[in-house]
Amino acid sequence: MFEILGDANINVSACSLADTSEFGILRLIPSDPVKAREILKKNLFSVNVSEVISFAAPNSPGALSRTLKILADANIGVEYLYGFSPGDKSFIVLCPDDATKAVEEFQKHEMELISASDLYKF
């Protein structure tokens, strides 16, 4: 799958892989989601596109908990998240059940939202 995307000049800035005894789920942030979906479907991969948001938080104990509390207090559920911490900041990709409301809450709390294209810089 990564070879197929690479051959199509699609970069992957973040990914997460989880498996069960029956199947695996690969979640990724491609540089061109529309093209990636088209190419993967053409190569018989099962593909679903989800709306996610990404943000930065301090890479310190309790920072993610405080961030998730913002969502919990606004009754916003989280389907999944994954992240990485290259230094003093953690970069999190999160799939909320209401992305618009999650963005509004993060903006209200002055959270640092990160665009998909900005993830490539880290």
pLDDT in tens, 21-40: 888 999 999 989 999 999 99
Domain that holds residue 84: 53-119
Report the pLDDT value the prediction gives residue 122, as an integer from 0 to 100. 59
59, 35: one domain: no
31, 61: one domain: no
C-alpha to C-alpha distance for 87 and 79, rounded to whole angstroms:
26
Kindly calculate the radius of gyration of the chain based on its CA atoms and give it in whole angstroms: 15
C-alpha to C-alpha distance for 28 and 26, rounded to whole angstroms:
6
Q: How confident is the model at residue 59 (pLDDT cuts 50, 70, 90)?
A: very high
C-alpha to C-alpha distance for 64 and 72, rounded to whole angstroms:
12
CB atoms within 10 A of CB 75: 9
**Strand, helix or coil at 84?**
strand
Q: Residue type at 44?
A: L
Instruction: Say if 47 falls within a structural domain.
Output: no
Number of domains the chain is built from: 2
62, 38: one domain: no
C-alpha to C-alpha distance for 22 and 46, rounded to whole angstroms:
14
57, 21: one domain: no
113, 61: one domain: yes
114, 71: one domain: yes
Over residues 41-63, the mean pLDDT reads 94
Strand partners, 113: 55
38, 63: one domain: no
